[in-house]
Structure 1
């Protein structure tokens, strides 16, 4: 499953602590809201709308240097677009881990 980390954010911040802090703040603000929207769409069976949210979350996985989460998000996004939620449980596990991680940074 791997672990998220801040390597990518550190790389793009390139030593600029203010920019680094802004990126962290954005992730910490956006991700919980996106997860709430995703869960709402999934509960209502709105797979296309959920796929749009998964697309955004997928990019958070990259920002958190978490390739495994990115891969499951990409697969889940495509499956949702095809009308299938086959990867929901796996994706939800990654979401839980991502939310737990951002609460520690």
Structure 2
């Protein structure tokens, strides 16, 4: 079964404070598309070191959205990118797509 993004962690740390949840989600909704775009641009330019830096930022959002396996994959992919290894690219892109769809759904 494929992991699906969720709000469980955000709800847990908010303690039921809906205003906090909304602010947190707004940050993710604002930052994620920019970071995804930056990641794609760096890959297209073969700037793997820069792409790794963006994956580093994205991986924390994956954890926050309950994607524990996605987070682990991002940790490995970040390290691989530093050496120009993009074998996890498609799997990572699938995760990015699921987050993108989730963000649009909760907007």
**How does the TM-score come out when normalised to structure 1?**
0.96
State the partner residue of 1:62: 63
Structure 1: distance between partners of 2:104 and 2:68 = 20
Corresponding residue pairs, total: 105
Normalising to structure 2: TM-score of the pair?
A: 0.95
For residue 28 of structure 1, give the secondary structure of its aligned residue in structure 2. Answer: helix
Q: Distance in 1 between matches of 2:13 and 2:49?
A: 31
| Root mean square deviation of aligned Cα | 0.7
Deviations 1:6-42 (A, max 9, x none): 0000011111111110000000110000000000000
The corresponding residue for 1:86 is 87
Q: How does 1:1-80 map to 2 (within 5 A)?
A: 1-80=2-81
SS of 2:66's equivalent in the other structure is coil
SS of structure 2 residue aligned to 1:82: coil
SS in 2 for 1:92: helix
Instruction: Report the secondary structure of 2:41's partner residue.
Output: helix
Structure 1, unaligned runs of 5 or more: none
Give unmatched runs, 5+ long, in structure 2: none
CA distance in 2 between counterparts of 1:20 and 1:90 reads 28
